[in-house]
Homo-oligomer: A and B are copies of this chain.
């Protein structure tokens, strides 16, 4: 242990190697409930690629596991420490190295916060779409690690679509450059995309070339109230089938609406069973909203309220962004699920979750990136009550089983981490697991990178 710290110090400035146990303990876990976490031996906060290489060389020499971390906003325990590990926090590598308006790319270090990048590119007329609700905290490195999504994905896709190339420090300290700075390229296997969503288990991302879009027109939103989740799901299918391309299409159920009102006094309509939010960033959003409003009405919406202006739109989106934190206040603890199903199966998913909630006598609220079929059932319970805790865990498993049964995936955007690793094998099947393990072995033969995650 002292040997480890001493060797780390030979290639890192003093303040970049933290051993104070009160401090290191604060790096133990991300924001997921119910995931095991150990006590790190040391936390390192490098500022350069060379320093990261030094950390990995040391780890390999001494066979010490390494857990990479961004802002630790993850919801699957993928950034949780294991006992005696090196926590490798990338948050100090937070420089935006380049924003190139002709080639529409940004080159960034991994610790850049999503919102910081988004604002910086916006100033130059550009747009970095991936917008997890945690965007004011989470880092680009973490977004790449989890392959994160957000509200705009229904139109703009997820993080994977925006990562063109990476610099990666491998487990043994060597530097790998993947991908390209060009719009297109097919030279060899796509290792770039292999890193996206790999949860720090294949290498340490130290630089990323990201694709940008031109800033779209400001989006305008509407809210539509439905007497049943089934009617809201019908509207979603009708909107997508009619060929609309909303920049956002979100669903909040009654429980979620209530929780947000409780927390932020937003005056959302609690009398309805489901609130659908749709937005367009097209040339004529009002026309698109009018068409979508009609589809909502036809599907049974009781009220359709288009925002009058950008400020009203923002208020609706704010409500959606607050859903998860608001739900946490209901009973103190939540488990947030992240099951994505084909959007035609949303009704079955929501009905199934309601049945599971009833069977387990739990409050389970659902908000969803509905346009993508990506649901977030939020299981609320009192962590002090062992029986409630057991029921919460079991219901969580049933929700994932339901998702798979409906042709979905156990995780649309939050990742596998510790939380869902037993389930990953069920989704992938034995052949898939074997090949994935083989890939891991190629990049990290000693198994030092983020052990105990994914598999």
Measured as residues with beta carbon below 8 angstroms from the partner, the interface class of chain A is 35 or more
**What would be 6 A-B contacts, judged by CB atoms less than 8 Å apart?**
A182-B372, A184-B372, A186-B409, A187-B409, A193-B193, A442-B442
Within 8 Å CB of A432, what residues of B? Answer: 176-178, 188, 191
Say whether A243 faces chain B, with CB atoms less than 8 Å apart. yes
Indicate whether A180 reaches chain B with its CB closer than 8 angstroms.
yes
Q: Which residues of A contact B (CB under 8 A)?
A: 100-105, 125, 146-147, 149, 153-154, 157-158, 160-161, 170, 174-178, 180-191, 193-194, 196-198, 202, 213-215, 237, 240-241, 243-245, 282-284, 340-344, 369, 371-374, 407-416, 420, 424, 427-429, 431-432, 435-436, 438-443, 454
In angstroms, Cα B154 to Cα A214, docked, is: 13
Contact B193 A104 (CB under 8 A): no
Q: Which 8 A-B pairs have the closest CB atoms?
A: A214-B243, A438-B442, A185-B409, A183-B372, A193-B193, A147-B186, A184-B412, A186-B197
The contact of A431 among B176, B198, B344, by CB within 8 Å, is: B176
CB-CB under 8 A from A407, the residues of chain B are: 181-182
B125 touches A243 (CB 8 A): yes
* Contact partner, A182, options B161, B198, B340, Cβ 8 Å: B340
A245 touches B413 (CB 8 A): no
Known: A176-B432, A178-B432, A245-B214. A416 touches B189 (CB 8 A): no
Most buried by B among A153, A157, A186, A413: A186
B443 touches A435 (CB 8 A): yes
Chain B residues, Cβ within 8 Å of A160: 190, 193
CB distance from A130 to the nearest CB of B (A): 11
Contacts of A412 in B (CB 8 A): 182, 184-186
